[in-house]
Amino acid sequence: MKKVLPIIVVAVMVLSIVGYCFLGSNIGKNSGDYEVLRIYNWEEYISESDTNKIEWNDYVSGEYTLSEDDEYIDVIYLFESYCRQVLNRNVRVEYSTFGTNENMYNELNLSKKEVGGSVSYSYDLVCPSEYMLLKMIREDMLEPLDRTKITNYDQNSSEYIRDLFKNQQISCEDGSTRSLYDYATCYMWGTMGYVYNPEHVAEADANHWSLLWNDAYKGKGTIKDSVRDSYILAIGYVYQEELSALKAKYDLGELTRAEYNAQLTAIYNRTDKESIERVGKVLTELKDKIYGYEVDSGKKDMAQGKISINFAWSGDAVYTMDVAEEEGTYLSYAIPEEGSNIFFDGWAMPKGANKELAQIFINFISTPESGCMNMNYIGYTSSLAGDAMFENAVDWYGTYVLVKADTEDEDTVLVDGELYYEEYFGDLDQTTRQSMLNADGTYNLIYPVYDDEYNVIGKEESENVTLYQTDLSYFFNTVATDSPDYDNKAYILWTDQIDRQATTQYPSEDMIARCTVMKCFSDDEIRELNDMWETAKVGNVSLVTILIVLGIIIVLIVVAIVLIKLYQKDLIKFSFGHKNLKFISSSEDKK
Amino acid sequence: MGKALKFSRKNLGIPYFLFLCLFVIFPLLLIVVYAFTDGNGSLTFANFIDFFTKGSNIYVLFISFALAILTTAICLVIAYPVSYILARTNMKAGSVYLLLFILPMWINFVLRTAAMKELLFALDKLGVYNITDWYFANTVIGMVYDYLPFTILPIYTVLIKLDKNVLEASSDLGANKVQTFLRTTLPLSLPGIVSAITMVLLPTTTSYVISDTLGNSKVTIIGKLIENQFNIGTADSWHTGSAISLILLCFIFGTMLLTGKFNERPNQRGGGLW
């Protein structure tokens, strides 16, 4: 018995562990109580809240209160509640997150199961970046979308983004060419550029990629510890003249926007030997000119003022600006003149996914309401457009003013004994705007002062305010310009801040014209780029450093050898001492 | 009775044996298999040839070991006197001091590293330190800070167990304090030193969190190379990564054999962790 019991215990332990590993993921799926939707998303990439778990019916009727210290609603819980209360289905979301596209890809491939010729992975919905989506399409890992099931996305998403997705195509192993549009819906998108502190960095310098190579800013900036992102920066610097010439041509109208963007894209996607070599050279040079490489710490360091320049994704830039603002620092964001990268993260269903449920989720997340919630939480720009999303942008960044009212009605407020109504500057009529305009193009405005609940409680008169108007129609139109439904509505954002959060989240058409999508590199290209990157990160190997380090190590080894020699001599000289030790250690043994 | 006891003793080893197979031997075998194959699964030595034919890799290997040796040496120089003093103070006070020294070990090391960065930044602001340019020094400081407890503990354990009679015998035989230390205490505490080296040398070549946080990612150590290979997502990157791990393992094993040589003593029992 004594022999059997431990074996049984151990066997049970091992079997339960193994069993859990292999079957654990299927237990939920097979049980009739609820359906499981397994979502795999970026970290911090959906509106989450521990306290604000709100039921769908309450949300629709508006009968809910948010907790005091958290203004965000838990979207996942809202979705589960939506399934329960509207679809009458018991759905449980298993939500996991990843840190890099490559990690997601590895994880997905590790979970690959092939049963009877049908492939399945352990997730129903993933949200990687566009190049990874293309790679997955190339490797036939994704299920195509059923457009009749994701009507919300097609109605609410920006026509501009959908067009970009249609243009992203990849040739697959079976010889077909597939489009990203058929496999993924865009969730968030953004650009890359410099976040900088205008107190220390000249705006004119920040408008060029050469900023970080400028000796005036030595040791002040960081770049991404990732070859794909840093390649953009370096290409922009290496081909600065070519890119500037191209832009000049476009500005003069010699090139159409499409031609300009096509040529720009070709330059940014160069992976010939010469380009890689030149990029490697400038990146090696860069190592001694920057503060360091970072993946995540740049946001914090920037907000705390440890660095003044951060090569960043636009969403992180918005976050950094928000945090810095709380500490009284006003940062700016620039997309350099030479052009930059535009990227997308999209929802796609791996092979073998629960397509029906996954598409319900995509449809759910593609409503303007959840678009606003997620965008406000994350900081990246939602792919959703239309009136509701534009209003959200206006709420955040638009300039609101107080205008004198003649008659009292429900919209007017009494401030300092006078009647006013509060209005978004863009909604004012032409004559009212003219009355505020000065001869030099600035405006004299009366800003409202709010209490905690955004009720107007006072006013603040401001003279000579510069207002910027950005035409965002290119993005906020959800209907194709050649479609009969197209109503040619102008979405113009009036704001008193430039190069800050508003411009970062919604760049003007000019800025977006010079942003290009990086292609999905082949394995060979990745390997070459990675070799270049590893060498560049090692930097200029200086002989002096090697010699100093080598010198220190040699000294250490010499000291060690001398010590050992001392010890060994000791043994020879005092051989009886050694016997003594022997005696003592054997006596110790007896204890 | 005796026989039955023996059997159950053996059985008690089964969980560890299974653990060993599952989490030590099996992964190690996997690494070896991966290292000698390419993305298609066919046998190749290319992973190793590629590694050694790339100049920057050799430099990374050099820097990693330079960093590891420097860190270990500084740790020993600081830890030995501390352990010596701690082992000599009376028990009650000694354990309190020891606690103070190993207390940082209970705090998450990422947190500790971040704290060290803040400290260095504060020094930088005061103008006595240059955190931007001295990134190699930052890394060494961070490594020493994080691995010091791992050096103190094994040396202390050996020194505290040191028989006072031996020391008395040494002075009885006419050795002065310095001689006693050099000829008796130091040789007898070698097992502790060797365990300390073992516990510091390998982790410092791979703990890139420290070099990333404090070295601003400007110091590439071999652990970072491995991590990078597992992150670039090409078909054969895992194979290259495994080959680098294996190379590192060989180097470490060689170093351990060397340090082990110094530790070969007759009748040596216990004391160290190794």
Q: In the Cβ-directed half-sphere of B139, how many Cα atoms lie within 13 Å?
A: 28
Residue of A nearest to B240 (CA): A527
Q: B97 Cβ partners below 8 Å, 6+ apart?
A: B86, B89
My answer on whether A297 and A174 are in the same domain is: no
My answer on whether A114 and A19 are in the same domain is: no
Q: Please, which residues bridge with residue A193 across strands?
A: A312
* A212 within a domain of the structure (yes/no): yes
Q: A561 Cβ partners below 8 Å, 6+ apart?
A: none
Runs of H (alpha helix) within A252-328: 257-268, 273-287, 297-303, 314-326
Q: Is B14 on the interface with A (CB under 8 A)?
A: yes
Tell which B residues from 85 to 114 touch A, by Cβ distance under 8 Å: none
Instruction: Give the amino acid at A543.
Output: L
My answer on whether A372 and A407 are in the same domain is: no
Instruction: Give the amino acid at A173.
Output: E
Q: Is B54 on the interface with A (CB under 8 A)?
A: yes
Q: Is B12 on the interface with A (CB under 8 A)?
A: yes
Number of A–B residue contacts, CB under 8 Å: 131
Query: Which CATH number does the domain housing residue A105 bear?
Result: 3.40.190.10
> Residue A214's pLDDT is what?
94
* A301 within a domain of the structure (yes/no): yes
Distance, CA of A490 to CA of A467 (rounded, Å) = 18
Task: Give A589→chain B minimum CA distance, Å.
Answer: 9
My answer on whether A123 and A245 are in the same domain is: no
- Chain B residues with CB-CB distance to A586 below 8 A: 267
My answer on whether A124 and A39 are in the same domain is: yes
The helix (run of H) or strand (run of E) holding residue A368 is helix A368-378
Work out the average pLDDT over B147-170.
89
**Ranges under pLDDT 50 in chain A:** 1, 24-30, 572-591
Distance, CA of A314 to CA of B147 (rounded, Å) = 38
* A497 within a domain of the structure (yes/no): no
Nearest one of A368, A257, A234 to A311, comparing CA atoms = A234
Question: What is the rounded average pLDDT for all residues in chain B?
Answer: 85
Distance, CA of B46 to CA of A189 (rounded, Å) = 40
Rg (CA), chain A: 30
- Please tell me which of the candidates A10, A538, A556 has its beta carbon nearest to residue B14: A10
Q: Is B168 on the interface with A (CB under 8 A)?
A: no
Distance, CA of B264 to CA of B261 (rounded, Å) = 6
Q: Is A225 on the interface with B (CB under 8 A)?
A: yes
The strand pair at A381-382 and A169-171 is best described as unpaired
Structure tokens at A375: 């965008």
My answer on whether A533 and A453 are in the same domain is: no
Q: Is B263 on the interface with A (CB under 8 A)?
A: no
> Residue B1's pLDDT is what?
46
Work out the average pLDDT over B9-37.
89
Q: Which of A466, A495, A524 is the last residue of a domain?
A: A466
Instruction: Give the amino acid at A104.
Output: M
> Residue A332's pLDDT is what?
95
> Residue B262's pLDDT is what?
63
Distance, CA of A130 to CA of A434 (rounded, Å) = 45
Residue of A nearest to B134 (CA): A291
For each of the domains in chain B, give its residue range(s) and CATH number, in order of start.
Answer: 63-262 (1.10.3720.10)
Q: Please, which residues bridge with residue A195 across strands?
A: A310, A333
CA distances from A430 to A435, A437, B209 (A): 9, 11, 58
Q: Is A550 on the interface with B (CB under 8 A)?
A: yes
- Please tell me which of the candidates B14, B60, B173 has its beta carbon nearest to residue A538: B60
The pLDDT-based confidence of B254 (bands split at 50, 70, 90) is confident
Structure tokens at B137: 């020094």
* A491 within a domain of the structure (yes/no): no
Reading phi first (left if > 0) and then psi (alpha if -120 to 50, else beta), residue B270 is in left
Tally Cβ neighbours within 10 Å of residue A218: 15
Structure tokens at A245: 């010439």
CB B205 within 8 A of CB B223: yes
* Contact (CB<8Å) B267/A586: yes
Rg (CA), chain B: 22
* Contact (CB<8Å) B54/A589: no
Map A201-255 to HEC letters.
CCHHHHCCHHHHHCHHHCCCEEEECCHHHHHHHHHHHHCHHHHHHHHHHHHCCCC
Distance, CA of A589 to CA of B18 (rounded, Å) = 32
* A498 within a domain of the structure (yes/no): no
Is the pLDDT assigned to residue B13 strictly greater than 50? Answer: yes
Tell which B residues from 29 to 48 touch A, by Cβ distance under 8 Å: 39
- Chain A residues with CB-CB distance to B227 below 8 A: none
Is the pLDDT assigned to residue B274 strictly greater than 60? Answer: no
* A560 within a domain of the structure (yes/no): yes
* Contact (CB<8Å) B166/A588: no
My answer on whether A54 and A129 are in the same domain is: yes
> Residue A472's pLDDT is what?
92
Q: Is B225 on the interface with A (CB under 8 A)?
A: yes
* Contact (CB<8Å) B59/A577: no
My answer on whether A199 and A261 are in the same domain is: yes
pLDDT in tens, A174-209: 889 999 999 999 999 999 999 999 999 999 999 999
Distance, CA of A287 to CA of A532 (rounded, Å) = 13
- For residues B80-116, one letter each, b for 16 or more C-beta atoms within 10 angstroms of the residue's C-beta and e for the rest, the string is bebbbebbeeeeeebeeebeebeeeeeeebeebbbeb
Q: In the Cβ-directed half-sphere of A92, how many Cα atoms lie within 13 Å?
A: 11
Nearest one of B166, B198, B173, B171 to B263, comparing CA atoms = B198
Kindly report the CA angle at A82 between A80 and A87, in degrees rounded to 5?
105
* A392 within a domain of the structure (yes/no): no
Q: Which residue has the higher pLDDT, A232 or B262?
A: A232
Domain of A322 in residue numbering reads as 188-344+513-538
> Residue A289's pLDDT is what?
93
- Chain B residues with CB-CB distance to A100 below 8 A: 231
Q: Which of A520, A548, A585, A586 should we substitute to test contact with B (largest number of B Cβ atoms within 10 Å)?
A: A585
**Residue B140 buriedness (CB in 10 A; 0-12 / 13-18 / 19+):** buried
* Contact (CB<8Å) A3/B165: no
Q: Which of A9, A105, A133, A537 should we substitute to test contact with B (largest number of B Cβ atoms within 10 Å)?
A: A537
The strand pair at A91-98 and A443-450 is best described as unpaired
Residues in chain B: 274
Lowest mean pLDDT: which of A52-61, A555-564, B53-62, B231-240? A555-564
Counted domains in chain A = 5
**C-alpha torsion angle, residues A77, A80, A86, A88 (rounded to 10):** -150
Q: Please, which residues bridge with residue B9 across strands?
A: none
* Contact (CB<8Å) B135/A292: yes
Work out the average pLDDT over B77-97.
84
| Helix, strand, coil tally for chain B in percent (to 5) | 80, 0, 20
My answer on whether A15 and A33 are in the same domain is: no
> Residue B48's pLDDT is what?
93
* A391 within a domain of the structure (yes/no): no
My answer on whether A182 and A101 are in the same domain is: yes
- For residues B243-269, one letter each, b for 16 or more C-beta atoms within 10 angstroms of the residue's C-beta and e for the rest, the string is bbbbbbeebbeebbeebeebbeeeeee
- Chain B residues with CB-CB distance to A553 below 8 A: 66, 69-70
My answer on whether A79 and A148 are in the same domain is: yes
* Contact (CB<8Å) A553/B267: no
My answer on whether A66 and A19 are in the same domain is: no
CA distances from B89 to A413, B97, B98, B162 (A): 78, 9, 10, 14
Look at the block and give the residue holding tokens 């996991």: A96
